[in-house]
Structure 1
Amino acid sequence: MAALLAMQPLVAAWAPDHILRINNATVAADCTERQSVTINGTSPGPTLRVRESDESVWIRVYNDMEAENTTLHWHGISQYGSPFADGTPATSQWPIAPGGYFDYEFKLDPGSAGTYMYHTHVGFSVVTAYGALIVEDKEAPPFEYDDERLVVLGDFYYKSDYNLSSGLLAAPFQWTNDPQALTVNGNAYGECDPAVKTCKSGCHTEVISVEPDRTYRIRVIGATALSFLYMALEDHPGFELIEVDGDYVNKHNASFLEVASGQRYSFLLHTKSVDELRALGKTRFWANLESRWRTTRSYGGWILEYKVDDLLAEGADPNAKVPQLNKTIPLPAEAPFWVMNELTPLDSTQAPPEDSEVSRVILVDGTQLNSGDKAHQKTFWQTHGYQYTEDMPSVPYLIQAYEGGLNIDYDAALANDGYDNTTHSMPIRAGEVVDIVFLNVASPTGTLEAHPWHIHGKHPYVMAYGLGEFSQEAYVAARKNMTAPIKRDTVMGASILYGYLIPLCSLPNLVYAGPEGMAYSNTTIPQGQVAGWTVFRLRADVPGAFMLHCHIQPHFTMGMGTVLLIGMEELPPLPDGFADQYL
């Protein structure tokens, strides 16, 4: 731990490609001030742009906070050859202590171009401490466009990070409730009551400017802590999807977009001509945001603004420059599958490992439990009977492995659906091909929650999903619905909320509950019963200790996570000069 306080660059003559400073600052996304964790003083933090290359990128991260540990995770980056740079406390590294810093160094090999994000991975600071990470193509991208724009979606709470997390761990349990605002690139317009809160002027709805008759790549990042969002754009035909979670897909049109926490998309936007704008009489259009898969709705949005000053000179209505925005663009209710089972990889040679290569099946059974009497009841999540906490084990898994002190019992894991109760992990041998099955299990109230499961390290293929109990017969039948499996690093689960059964699936990798994908009111499922499942297929050729967890921060705080120990017998060597500082 002490070594991290004085981490030295790997080669003294070098300088980091990027420097990020994690600090405390006042954030007022919707005019209501909140003490928050920020990156370089802002939320979101600076957008980092790097290029596919055989060379490493070096990012130095300082912890400028006075009393909080931190790490930074590079969400979606496989970390091939650099598992020590994944940024997870107690799994891949010691946390960065106040006043210290850590040097993250990793490669972005050809084929990794796409949209990613970075965020803190300690406590509840991820609500505001995040930013965009764009990996540019080494050569020309496979789709033509004139320029690109960024849409980073977030949640904004008035409560502090401490109050949010401590309530979740309290007895009695206190839920976070929905966010007070949905942010876009850190902005949201809000009505602040100065009698109750400290208010700040200048907050505004995010405005994204474009020019007519051009094609833009719009990168969308789901940096929400809780919300699962639908998005539609006024007077524009839809979204031409080209990328999902850092992997290119064949063009596919969607009338609206679904984005869960941790997910990323790119779509092509073909802007209107000057004549079309003149006919409509306006140059501003509302992009509507609404939350889904919870019993209450959150609302937000952003403005698409065309930079066409000569429209007014040519006789357009002066009021058309700032029209009354339509904030009620209809968005559909929760519905299964969205368009995700129709997406196919752009690279036609990209395919999952064959069935004959699969050595075993690993079950992941995220389960909600209660303990104590009603007045002192705690609510928490477990996987295979274990509640994950970010301070366990006492020495990070990866550091134990590099020091030769990590004892993995593969036989015990094989006899227990892939889970080793001694290390509280899921060990996988180097080169193994495994199917990881996510099971959505009913809670003590007979309800199911929505879970965007995020896997660190290599992106797996989404093979199938289905209703009810998982079985080989159900899996074989569901595989017939998959045109061509795509890779993802963040996928959704099913939900029944507070007595309402909702089929949570909008992706082929979604787990959902409900016969035939129908929604039923006032329906419950017996506690412990599996109501839906999804199957990932992973070739374990990226060694390291990698988290697998729900990306809804409240659920993760409550314990919904586990660790994959992949190929620990074939870890890459630590960089020269790094061991003394890292171990």
Structure 2
Amino acid sequence: MRFITGFPALLFSVLGSISIVTATTQYHDESFIPDAVLRVTQQNITQSCLASKTNVLINGTSPGPELRLLEGQTYWIRVYNDMTANNLTMHWHGLSMAVSPFSDGTPVASQWPIPPACFFDYEIHVPIGMAGTYFYHSHVGFQAASAAGPLIVDDLHVPYHYDDEKIIFIQDTFTKDFQTIEKGLVNTPLVWSGEAAAILVNGKGGGSANGTACNASLSVIDVEPGKTYRLRFIGATALTFASLAIEGHGSLEVIEADGSYTQKADTSFLQVAAGQRYSVLLHTLPNPTQSTYYIQLESRDRPTVTRSFAILNYGPKYKNSTPFYPPPKPVVSLPKSTVGFLDYKLYPLQPSGDFPSAKEVSRTVTITVHQAVRGMTIWLENHYPWVDTFPTEPYLVSLYKNDGVEFPSMERAAQNGGLDPITRAFPAEIGEVVDIVLLNTGADSGGLDAHPWHAHGRHYWDLGSGNGTYDAATNEAKWAGKEPATRDTTMLYRYGLTTGNGTVQGWRAWRLRVTEPGVWMIHCHILQHMIMGMQTVWVMGNETEVLGKVPRPEVEGYLTYGGDVYGNESHWPTAVHYFDTWAENQ
């Protein structure tokens, strides 16, 4: 396995052949050694040109350390909440169906958060075929703006040749601290977070925001002439929909999107939204005419433009001695927001043969997105928001406890576009094929936003996007004889700045084969929008399938906030081992 320039790497050993067997409860005392340890703290730091403010850091840095896994293996990652007054979870973005039922890291859906001064052991099994680019982040409030880091799953056999690889980890930062932003977003009236004050690459960034120049030092990506590099772009922003290109390098070959290898797709620029990841092959210049070239990034679909830069360095390897700074003006001309970027152009490198035809689709579930003012400014999906105050405990916990939150009804859901209005959850049956259609509508004020929608639980086949309402037959014809790439985060675009209140203007369509029982989230990955209610919870499978995955009494420690599955300085935790060593059961 290789180290990635710019991040301290935590590498895991090969553990041997792993298979899924019956869950067992085990005590994690001092004899249990996790494969990696993440410690999350709240500290004041300075980012870019901003004044020092409170951020949530992982192992003392933002972004956090790189985690590197190997497909086909099982790992335990211990996460300490060293904060004194804030809850915490950790989500393994894009690997959701590879985690045990209580390890997805979603506090409103599948698990209680980690209390302050406690730790939790997350179990992750990476199936063969899930090699690719991912990241991990907190799923509580606005913490993910800084509490995030790269997660790379290495291949047993790499399908594309390249000489080396580099991570381009994209974040944004704001003038306010995360707690002030959280309070403002749920305030009546809304107190907006403000636009991104800087875009960061690998923790650094300089350029301009709202017309104000920022002469901060830039990250440096070292390369050599005449070689091929795999650049892993990770969209870990809170708000920014980034357009980017590399000065003097007009050709990028996309080979991976959201953890799925694709056939090569040529492009001169990238658009990377919150939650998205792309790998591209960059063929460096055989005879560069200068020692450094700028990577230029700009925000899109926002009222103002935030611009930032990083350095592609052909010179001697950067030793962090002489800093590089942004140019006085843009060095490349980036296009305006390109709706439908790479839609109908990404195909799997190896077709799965499992792509369901339209005849196999059991039903179509429509999620209609709308911004409303009900005192608070909130985002509604099929007329309902999902916020931290509903429900009062994680939905999976409520189902296990049978304490008043009933199992969602397929019958009620069929009358409400797929949503059961009593439970506010979307039910699905194991084995069915569902088309999910996201509809963008004009807000109460008539405004429109673009939204990167992310699915936990399983990757979907992305069927594309368009303006107006969705015409299934017309769109299906575009895929005749073809299989779309599988994704986990794609854009619900806006096709204008304003439209009528509630008028549909823009759609995104997915196809999902329901195979993994559990409670999973599907949501917009803009942190501000999530806090304001733009998230949905899905219950896939019936009661026996969902609650029988890990039966009682094994789950008891997960059903109470601060239960015995959470360790602290006074006691070790218990943990359900969902993925167990096959040899132990022979």
Q: Same fold (TM over 0.5)?
A: yes
Answer whether contact 2:413 2:426 (CA < 8 A) is retained.
Answer: yes
Unaligned runs of 5+ in 2: 1-24, 560-586
Q: CA deviation at 1:284?
A: 0.4
Paired residue for 2:279? 266
Deviation sequence 1:16-61 (CA, Å, 0-9, x none): 11111111122212143121011111100011000001x3211111
Offset, 1:334: 2.0
Which amino acid is the alignment partner of residue 57 of structure 2?
T
**In structure 2, what residue type is equivalent to 1:554?**
Q
Match of 1:314 in 2: none
1:552 aligns with 2:526: yes
Match of 2:489 in 1: 490
For the residue of structure 1 that corresponds to 2:393, the secondary structure is coil
> Which one-letter code corresponds to 1:566 in the other structure?
M
What is the alpha-carbon distance in structure 2 between the residues aligned to residue 559 and residue 211 of structure 1?
Answer: 46
Q: Does 1:465 align with 2:465?
A: yes
**1:102 maps to amino acid:** F
Q: Which residue of 2 aligns with 1:424?
A: 424
Counterpart of 2:79, as a letter, is V
Q: Could you tell me how far apart the structure 2 residues matched to 1:159 and 1:186 are?
A: 17
Larger helix share, 1 or 2: 1
TM-score between both structures, scaled by the size of structure 2:
0.84
SS in structure 1 at match of 2:430: coil
Kindly tell me: are residues 404 and 171 of structure 1, through their superposed partners in 2, closer, same or farther at Cα, counting changes over 3 Å?
closer
1:573 aligns with 2:549: yes
Structure 1 pair 149–371 and aligned structure 2 pair: CA distance change class (3 A): same
- In structure 2, distance between residues paired with 1:339 and 1:245: 13
Question: What is the alpha-carbon distance in structure 2 between the residues aligned to residue 291 and residue 575 of structure 1?
Answer: 47
Q: Are the counterparts in 2 of residues 401 and 568 from structure 1 also a CA contact under 8 Å?
A: no
Q: Which amino acid aligns with 2:491?
A: M
SS at match of 2:451: coil
Query: Does the CA contact (< 8 Å) of 1:78 and 1:459 recur in 2?
Result: no
User: 2:181 aligned with 1:168, yes or no?
Assistant: no
Q: Deviations over 1:447-484 (max 9, x none)?
A: 211010111110111124332123xxx22112333453
1:97-246 map, 5 Å: 97-137=115-155, 139-189=156-206, 204-246=217-259
Is the Cα–Cα contact under 8 Å of residues 242 and 249 in structure 1 kept in the other structure? yes
Is contact 2:451–2:492 with CA below 8 Å preserved after alignment? yes
Aligned partner of 1:359 in structure 2 is: 362
C-alpha displacement of 1:307: 3.6
TM-score, structure 1 normalization: 0.84
8 Å Cα contact 2:68/2:154 also seen in 1: yes
The residue identity in structure 1 corresponding to 2:234 is I
**Partner residue, 2:69:** 50
Report the count of equivalent residues.
519
Query: In the TM superposition, what is the alpha-carbon distance from 1:328 to its structure 2 partner?
Result: 2.7
| Gap change, CA 1:232 and 1:34, over 3 Å in 2 | same
1:350–1:219 CA distance, 2 compared to 1 (3 A): farther
| 1:538 is aligned to 2:557 | no
Q: Distance in 1 between matches of 2:412 and 2:454?
A: 25
CA contact (8 A) 1:211 1:308 kept: no
Any idea what SS the aligned residue of 1:83 has? coil
Distance 1:69 1:29 in 2: 24
Taking a change above 3 Å as real, the CA distance of residues 323 and 182 of structure 1, as seen in their structure-2 partners, is: closer
Q: Secondary structure at the match of 1:495?
A: coil
CA deviation map 1:140-167 (0-9, x unaligned): 2100111110000011112011211222
Q: Aligned-residue CA RMSD in angstroms? A: 2.5
- Distance verdict in 2 for CA 1:86–1:568, change over 3 Å: farther
Q: Which residue of 1 aligns with 2:571?
A: none
1:286 paired residue among 272, 291, 294: 294
Distance 2:27 2:273 in 1: 36
Q: Which amino acid aligns with 1:170?
A: N
Quick one: distance in 1 between partners of 2:446 and 2:487? 29
Is this contact kept in 2: 1:73–1:87, CA < 8 A? yes
Q: Can you list the C-alpha shifts for 1:401-430, whole angstroms capped at 9, x where unaligned? A: 344564232211122211111211001111
Letter in 2 for 1:106: I
2:398 counterpart residue number: 400
Show CA shifts across 1:89-133 (max 9, x none): 031100111011111102100010000011101111111110011
Shift of the alpha carbon at 1:9? 5.0
Residue 325 of structure 1 and its aligned partner are, at CA, apart by 8.0
Q: Structure 1's 215 and 578: CA in aligned 2 closer, same or farther, altered over 3 A? A: farther
For the residues of structure 2 that align with 1:27 and 1:577, how far apart are their CA atoms? 44
Is residue 65 of structure 1 aligned with residue 83 of structure 2? yes
- Structure 1 counterpart of 2:368, one-letter code: D
The CA deviation at 1:69 is 0.6
> Is the Cα contact below 8 Å between 2:363 and 2:435 reproduced in 1?
yes
Aligned to 1:250: 263
Match of 1:21? 39
The structure-2 alpha-carbon separation of the partners of 1:203 and 1:21, relative to structure 1 and needing over 3 Å to count, comes to: farther
Contact 2:218 2:326 in 1 (8 A): no
Kept in 1, the 8 Å contact 2:71–2:129? The answer is yes
Contact 1:547–1:563 (Cα < 8 Å) also in 2: yes
Is contact 1:188–1:206 with CA below 8 Å preserved after alignment? yes
The alignment partner of 2:486 has SS state of: coil
Aligned residue for 1:511?
A: none
**Stretch of structure 1 that moved more, 482-491 or 292-301:** 482-491
> What is the letter of the counterpart of residue 84 of structure 1?
F
Distance (Å, rounded) in 1 between the aligned partners of 2:91 and 2:98: 14
Q: Does 1:412 align with 2:412?
A: yes
Superposed counterparts of 1:469-484, under 5 Å: 469-470=469-470, 474-482=471-479, 483-484=482-483
Secondary structure at the residue paired with 2:454? strand
Inter-CA distance 114–11: structure 2 relative to 1 (3 Å threshold): farther
